Amino acid sequence: MFERFRLRAGRKTALLEDPQLTDEYLITLADCVDAARLNDLYPPTAAVLSSVEMMMHELHGGIHQDLEVDAQVGLPTYREFVRVASDRDRAPTELPELANWADRGDEGIYGKLRAKRAYYEALCGVDAVMCESRKTYFRKVDTETAMAMFRVVLDRIGSTGLLERLTVELSQHAGIWGREELKLDDDDAVHMSEDLGGLVYRLASQDVELIFLRLGDDPSLRVESVIKGVIGPFLFDGLEPSAPFDALAGIPSDGALLTASLALASLEQQRDVFNDPLTRAAQISLEAREELATSREMEPYHVLTDRKFVLSDADREELDHYLDGAGTSNIVYEP
């Protein structure tokens, strides 16, 4: 489908330089993300779709000469998402200057300025784009236990090139902060020391179970749940997916395959459920988990993993065969 990708020598990126191919790739990616029906535990769909749309040559008119794609996971690289976010931040201040050239026609540099103005106008109409964001929300104070309850939400482009949202619900001894330090905005986001958010950020690259356990090392905290929703990989011919995604390499065929995974470790999860065929062998055993919980005086928790798939002209029969062999039952969408 995207066989004209040019791999950069010595780098794990592919470069799209043809405008038609770039937009074809981005439209297919957007269709798959939209079809995945992702909830609030994943990076916000609207923001992801807005970023992908603004990467299209049709929207930016050639301001950016190429599109860089991660050659292992198939998504636009960190550079591309940051470039859109930076352009959006810059657009309101640059638009008035660009308006001065509105009546100069489309020849030469004036055509480029017109395209840039249209691109910036489109960016100003976007509510949000995908970028790194960290917020700590106040939930309530449990007066019986003197614990303040928070939710930490972290959106990021992970080190593996996947789009991630990490949501952590936890409680902290109220004596660690004072009410005079607790300032909330209209969304109940906390404006206080970054201790909690920073702690979660430093652990974000780990899997949910390790995050749960490492947060539990802090005696001032009671961890309730750790949830990670991930968009990607987005696979098609011409990529070189790394493990464990290489197990899916033959499925895209002449089309494309998007996966989205969800993993949680939670006190409220009643039993372990491992329904992600790519990570089933990576979990801590139940016996080891119970031993760890006992040694740390933690309440029992359980783990759930799941993965959904979106096929765009890909080989459904091959995917079904793979899932049957893995022994999982997964949702499969087709745009």
What pLDDT is stored for residue 10 in this prediction?
A: 44
Residue 20 structure tokens: 């038609």
Round the CA-based radius of gyration of the chain to a whole number and report it: 22
Angle at 30 between CA 25 and CA 35, to 5 degrees: 130
What pLDDT is stored for residue 321 in this prediction?
A: 93
What pLDDT is stored for residue 9 in this prediction?
A: 43
Q: 67-70 and 13-16 as β-strands: parallel, antiparallel, unpaired?
A: antiparallel
Q: 221-236 and 256-266 as β-strands: parallel, antiparallel, unpaired?
A: antiparallel
What pLDDT is stored for residue 111 in this prediction?
A: 57
Place of tokens 């009546």: 103
Q: Are 305 and 280 in contact (CB under 8 A)?
A: yes
Q: Where are the domains of the chain?
A: 6-124, 133-333
Return averaged pLDDT per consecutive 10 residues of the chain, 335 residues in all: 50 80 93 97 97 91 86 93 93 74 55 76 90 86 78 93 96 62 53 68 90 86 94 88 87 91 94 88 64 67 94 91 93 91
Which whole-number Å values give the CA distances from 119 to 38, 110, 210, in the listed order? 28, 14, 43
Task: Give the pTM.
Answer: 0.88
